Amino acid sequence: MAERNWTRVNEFILMSFSSLPTEIQLLLFLTFLFIYLVTLLGNSLIILVTLADPMLHSPMYFFLRNLSFLEIGFNLAIVPKMLGTLIAQDTTISFLGCATQMYFFFFFGVSECSLLATMAFDRYVAICSPLHYPVIMNPRARAKLAAVSWFPGIPVATVQTTWLFSFPFCGSNKVNHFFCDSPPVLRLVCADTALFEIYAIIGTILFVVIPCLLILCSYTRIAAAILKIPSTKGKHKAFSTCSSHLLVVSLFYVSLSLIYFRPKSNNSPESKKVLSLSYTVVTPMLNPIIYSLRNNEVKNALGRTFHKALGLRNCIP
């Protein structure tokens, strides 16, 4: 009898920021569009410069290039639809479209956690074992590490998305968010989701908390190694090689923990939307800026790349 009351959902409605006045939504659209374009341009430049400049063919920039790919994919999965809901008021998203968006959200999110841990390991080897660094981080090893970083996102996204969208949905089809995140979609399910929620907690521990602990462990060892360096100049140089990554990690995990690890009583849907903007929209834009402004090698490479481009242009009759 219960099955007869289930409504087959063919589409969802993203509530997004529909409660705000039209003028505010237009302002948000222009702001997020600017951030989105800066994100795509900044991360694309990082990819192009680290590929084109031989000085940036080290393992650190190889992993940075992978991070930029992830940030572009993460943005493409979420931001275009959000912009559409703001400017065109097109708040509907198909059942398949919602599942696809959630799949790529999990895939890129889990892969980024793994990649940030891999980048921390790279910095650990570079500072704590500098003489063995070229051997440990040879091209084959870093390619394997990158593959291992990307791979966990596939099973996590596949299992979690397939499982969640196999549940029956009934009643309202309104997702109180600006994208198809798991918690707001799960609230629309008309079935016992206890086992799924246990799986989600285990997945969070394995693929979010454990990489965070590995990063903390790596930087604890790095800090101990830096303190042993006798000269102030040497300490500053060692710290500067990992400060950008440490800042990126802090931004990512602080925003993530504010959303998913706060007590539910303190986590209203509206506050969650605002906090979600930090890691879905703002952080992907800041990453290339942080690596560009805080890294002389990247700044010099950007200058060389632009000079080459201008030189080629001047040669065209």
Residue 197 belongs to domain with CATH number: 1.20.1070.10
Query: Which residues span the domain enclosing 157?
Result: 11-291
* Residues in CB range of 202: below 8 A, 6 or more apart: none
Does residue 132 lie in a domain region?
yes
Does residue 315 lie in a domain region?
no
Does residue 96 lie in a domain region?
yes
- For residue 76, what is the DSSP state? H
Does residue 317 lie in a domain region?
no
Domain count, the chain: 1
* Residues in CB range of 278: below 8 A, 6 or more apart: 251, 255, 258
Task: Note the pTM of the prediction, 2 decimals.
Answer: 0.90
CA 205 to chain CA centroid, nearest Å: 17
Distances (CA, A) of 175 to 25, 97, 98, 161, 178: 18, 13, 10, 16, 8
What is the full per-residue pLDDT of the chain (317 aa) written as tens digits? 344 455 577 899 999 888 888 899 999 999 999 999 999 999 999 999 999 888 889 999 999 999 999 999 999 999 999 999 998 877 899 999 999 999 999 999 999 999 999 999 999 999 999 999 999 999 999 999 999 999 999 999 999 999 999 999 987 899 999 999 999 999 999 899 999 999 999 988 898 899 999 999 999 999 999 988 888 888 887 888 788 888 888 888 888 777 766 666 556 777 788 888 888 898 899 888 888 766 777 777 777 777 776 765 444 44
Does residue 128 lie in a domain region?
yes
Does residue 68 lie in a domain region?
yes
* Residues in CB range of 312: below 8 A, 6 or more apart: none
Does residue 24 lie in a domain region?
yes
pLDDT of residue 1: 37
pLDDT of residue 263: 63
Does residue 285 lie in a domain region?
yes
Burial class (CB in 10 A: 0-12, 13-18, 19+), 278: middle
